[in-house]
Amino acid sequence: MSGRTPLVAANWKMHKVRAEARDYCTELRRRIEGVRGAEVVLFPGFTLLGTVAEALAGSSIAWGGQDLHPVPQGAHTGDVSGAQLADVGCSWVLCGHSERRQDHGESDELIGAKAAAARHSGIKPMVCIGETEEQRSSGRTFEVLDRQLAAALGAEPRPGAIAYEPVWAIGTGKTATPELAQEVHAFLRRRLEKALGSAGTALRLLYGGSVKPANAAELFAQPDIDGFLVGGAGLDPGQFFDIIGSSCA
């Protein structure tokens, strides 16, 4: 056993309205009552944060934002600051999800700045890294991950967690085999320990990319996989709960 507490998060992306969010939280709270051994986080859209905060108040489930701006305030229409996320009770925020990198052209440097801004706001950044199918097929997986990880670690203070999400497996139904996922996580663990020492051993590494109840237990059995960042299956409280259960077994 690594001694690292499992961390399981659901990224709702651009899904759900308030009534759906409220029903989901009610059902997940009911199911998760009495479950111990894993930290659970929800990442709803910005318009749902108030509803989720109200629905989860007093529970063991945390919530976070899907993005933030690297500066604390200012003339940045449409953006959200770390202080605003903290004000609605967020304890986590996603930084550098592949869809932000692709849809909004976010650079490694910008993502590092966002991670630093989160920490300075008292919020733990979950920094997402991962290679595209073209990068993997051309043998550049570790080169890409090294670059992305270096930018995240360049932020002061350090990330709260790293989520490895192979871009070719996000929303495609394709999943890295447990052996392939472990190979990448072991590489990342070595890099973290080299850069951070014992703090690198303690920092949690999550896997994301078509995680489902059917494959979660086998993935979680790998020594350097500390939990999951779940997309599609995280939209259903029953499926998400089953994945949480696989991480507590």
What the block records as the tokens of 8 is 């399981």
Spell out the domains of the chain, with CATH numbers in brackets. Answer: 7-248 (3.20.20.70)
pLDDT of 1 = 47
What the block records as the tokens of 148 is 């992305």
pLDDT of 3 = 86
CA gap 62, 57 in Å, rounded: 9
pLDDT tens, position by position, for the chain (249 residues)? Answer: 478 999 999 999 999 999 999 999 999 999 998 788 999 999 999 999 999 999 999 999 999 999 999 999 999 999 999 999 999 999 999 999 999 999 999 999 999 999 999 999 999 999 999 999 899 889 999 999 999 999 888 756 577 999 999 988 777 777 789 999 999 999 999 999 999 999 999 999 999 988 999 999 999 999 999 999 999 999 999 999 999 999 876
Q: Encode pLDDT of 21-71 as tens digits.
A: 999 999 999 999 878 899 999 999 999 999 999 999 999 999 999 999 999
pLDDT of 209 = 86
pLDDT of 152 = 87
CA gap 188, 210 in Å, rounded: 20
Number of H helices, E strands in the chain: 11, 8
Q: Which amino acid is at 79?
A: D
Say which residues have a Cβ less than 8 Å from residue 193's Cβ, sequence separation at least 6.
Answer: 200, 201
What the block records as the tokens of 19 is 């009534």
CB distance 244 to 40 below 8 Å:
yes
CA gap 127, 152 in Å, rounded: 7
User: Can you spell out the DSSP letters for 25-82?
Assistant: HHHHHHHHTT--S-EEEEE--GGGHHHHHHHHTTSS-EEEES---SSSSSS-TT---H
The residue with tokens 């759900």 is: 16
What the block records as the tokens of 158 is 């350090």
Which residues make beta-bridge pairs with 39?
Answer: 7
Which residues make beta-bridge pairs with 204?
Answer: 161
Q: Of 13, 38, 43, give the one whose Cα is nearest residue 25.
A: 43
Q: Which amino acid is at 3?
A: G
Which residues make beta-bridge pairs with 40?
Answer: 8
What the block records as the tokens of 209 is 């990319």
Q: Encode pLDDT of 208-229 as tens digits.
A: 988 999 999 999 999 999 999 9
CB distance 81 to 69 below 8 Å:
yes
Q: Which residues are catalytic?
A: 97, 165
pLDDT of 25 = 98
CA gap 39, 42 in Å, rounded: 10
Q: Of 229, 184, 180, give the one whose Cα is nearest residue 209.
A: 229
